[in-house]
Amino acid sequence: MIDVRLLRTDLDAVRTAQARRGKPDVLAQIDAAVALDTKLRDLTAERDALRARVNDLSKQVGGLRKAGKNDEAEAVMNESRALGETERQLQADFDGLQAQLRDVMLRIPNIPHVDAPNGGSDADNPVIKGPVNMPAAFGDHQRVPHWETATVLGILDNERATKIAGAMFTMQRGLGATLARALCQFALDQNADAFEEIRPPSLVTTATLTATGHLPKFADDAFAIERDDLWTIPTAEVPLTSLYAGEVLDEAQLPARLMAYTPCYRREAGSAGRDTRGMLRAHEFDKVEILAIATPEQSPTLLQELVGRAEALIAALELPYRIIEICTGDMGGSHHRSFDLEVYAPGCDAWLEVSSVSWFSDYQARRADIRFKRHGQKGTEIANTLNGSALAVPRVWAAILENHRQPDGSVRIPEVLRPYMRGAASMASK
């Protein structure tokens, strides 16, 4: 969440920055937060003054009793008890207002970076690089949707996946399953030079999912295990961000670089009927995530590094791609600045988002209470977090089948993946 002190010290700047998102409800939330914060501060002053009065009365009681003025001492004690009851009510009111303020603050999005482009929707996202590896023309054999190729090759069996788990689940078979695993191992290996591999839990608490900004806003898109108050993770970003929740890191530990392969679960509420064929949209998929916890000064350079690492993976797979920067009107609520990598899929005739790289400034770390201490300085500061999809399997898998489809219907496996494919150089029908 944003720092509530900004609403007290620089409200106009906050409103101006948030207005760039083009969402009037955000400004209404800011107004609500300001009103609640004002009430809280007034209540705090009243409560503290009352506490001071009670303490003063307690001292008077001792002096009166010492002087033998028991009747007067009893009267002062009665006044103190009455004030104590009032104080308890004020504390209850304070706790209620504080909970209301936290709820509103959790819903207010992050402040966009000054360099984030203005815009109202994804149509306004500027292309900052590419297209790269785009051929002059695609052959007719590449204009076949991946689900048709996968059916012929026998490497995708969504019909049986639906029988097993219901709609919007996918199941790869044979070399299709091997390809999915190969993509994940390739992404891990390519980032192992600088990132510590983690295998986090796939189930997390409400507090963990709240820390990244997925709750309360995206509760409808998450799978909840209500009996145990647990949630399936929508991305490894969630457990990796909270790895150091509630901790104070030394400045020398930063940036902390983490990566993880995990299954990811998303309800995809509101997406019924869209992209339901093939691999483009599913409730469960595999992904490798890279994440950094950093100082504010380290973050801009790290953002570009994460983008570069995601780009290198896609380029190595010999896929046509482009990089876009996300405008303020399309930016996620927790994002400070974001870039997407898109791969062109000729069979779908569409640009598919395959990686999103984002800088969250201190928004997530404040929710998770991740702090760091600078050398030679008193106190601590809220850290910054950044993360990126190193490689999300479904759309990359689909793009490989379409871009690397050969005239005879087989699919050429990119060379960088062949060491993970048990010697297979292509996928062909039996």
- How many domains does the structure of the chain reveal? 2
Which residue, among 353, 346, 361, has the nearest Cα to 400 in the 3D structure? Answer: 346
For residue 268, what are the domain limits? Answer: 122-427
Least confident span in 49-63, 143-157, 255-269, 408-422? 49-63
Which value, to the nearest 10 degrees, does the dihedral of the CA atoms of residues 351, 357, 363, 368 take? 110
Give the number of other Cβ atoms within 10 Å of residue 300's Cβ.
Answer: 16
Q: Does some domain include residue 113?
A: no
Query: Do 148 and 88 share a structural domain?
Result: no
Give the number of other Cβ atoms within 10 Å of residue 46's Cβ.
Answer: 15
Least confident span in 74-78, 409-413, 422-426? 74-78
Q: Which residues contact 347 (CB under 8 A, 6 or more apart)?
A: 142, 143, 144, 145, 146, 148, 149, 401, 402, 405
Q: Which residues contact 217 (CB under 8 A, 6 or more apart)?
A: 107, 333
Residue 324 has pLDDT above 80, yes or no: yes
Query: Do 67 and 193 share a structural domain?
Result: no
Query: Do 176 and 91 share a structural domain?
Result: no
Query: Do 46 and 131 share a structural domain?
Result: no
Q: Which residues pair with 382 in a beta bridge?
A: 371
Query: Do 244 and 360 share a structural domain?
Result: yes
pLDDT for 218 equals: 83
39: which 2 tokens?
Answer: 């009430």
Which residue's structure tokens are 């791609």? 321
Query: 178, 153 in Cβ contact below 8 A?
Result: no
Cα–Cα distance measured from residue 40 to residue 99, given in angstroms and rounded to the nearest whole number: 11
Cα–Cα distance measured from residue 6 to residue 13, given in angstroms and rounded to the nearest whole number: 9
Q: Does some domain include residue 116?
A: no
Tell me: cis bond preceding 112? Omega within 30 of 0 counts: no
pLDDT tens for 96-127 read 999 999 999 999 999 999 999 999 999 999 99
Residue 173 has pLDDT above 80, yes or no: yes
pLDDT for 68 equals: 81
Half-sphere exposure of 279 (CA within 13 A, CB side): 34
428 CA to centre of own chain = 38
278: which 2 tokens?
Answer: 């093939």
Least confident span in 276-290, 314-328, 382-396? 276-290
Per-residue pLDDT band at 185 (split at 50, 70, 90): very high
What value does the mean pLDDT take over residues 277-292? 94
pTM of the model: 0.91
Classify residue 252 as exposed, middle or buried by CB count within 10 Å of its CB (0-12, 13-18, 19+). exposed
Residue 162 has pLDDT above 70, yes or no: yes
What value does the mean pLDDT take over residues 5-12? 96
Helix axes 70-107, 24-66, angle to 10 degrees: 160
Query: 208, 179 in Cβ contact below 8 A?
Result: no
Query: Do 191 and 157 share a structural domain?
Result: yes
Query: Do 203 and 142 share a structural domain?
Result: yes
Per-residue pLDDT band at 275 (split at 50, 70, 90): low
Query: Do 372 and 248 share a structural domain?
Result: yes
Average pLDDT, the chain: 94
Please identify, among 107, 141, 174, the residue that sits at the C-terminal boundary of a domain. Answer: 107
Helix (H) or strand (E) holding 31: helix 24-66
Cα–Cα distance measured from residue 137 to residue 134, given in angstroms and rounded to the nearest whole number: 8
Per-residue pLDDT band at 269 (split at 50, 70, 90): low
Cα angle, residue 167 at apex, residues 162 and 170 outer, rounded to 5°: 60
Least confident span in 44-58, 247-261, 304-318, 407-421? 44-58
Residue 274 has pLDDT above 80, yes or no: no
Cα–Cα distance measured from residue 143 to residue 185, given in angstroms and rounded to the nearest whole number: 28
Q: Does some domain include residue 114?
A: no
Query: Do 140 and 42 share a structural domain?
Result: no
Classify residue 415 as exposed, middle or buried by CB count within 10 Å of its CB (0-12, 13-18, 19+). exposed
Catalytic annotation, residues? 266, 281, 353, 356, 395
Q: In the chain, pLDDT over 90 holds for what percent of residues?
A: 84
CATH number at residue 217: 3.30.930.10
CATH number at residue 54: 1.10.287.40
Which residue's structure tokens are 């647990």? 230
Query: Do 381 and 260 share a structural domain?
Result: yes
Give the number of other Cβ atoms within 10 Å of residue 85's Cβ.
Answer: 10
Look up residue 125 and give its amino acid.
N
Q: Does some domain include residue 387?
A: yes
pLDDT tens for 204-260 read 999 999 999 888 888 889 999 999 999 999 999 999 999 999 999 999 999 999 999
* Rg, the chain, Cα only: 27
Per-residue pLDDT band at 276 (split at 50, 70, 90): low
Cα–Cα distance measured from residue 74 to residue 61, given in angstroms and rounded to the nearest whole number: 8
Query: Do 263 and 286 share a structural domain?
Result: yes
Query: 223, 265 in Cβ contact below 8 A?
Result: yes
Classify residue 140 as exposed, middle or buried by CB count within 10 Å of its CB (0-12, 13-18, 19+). exposed
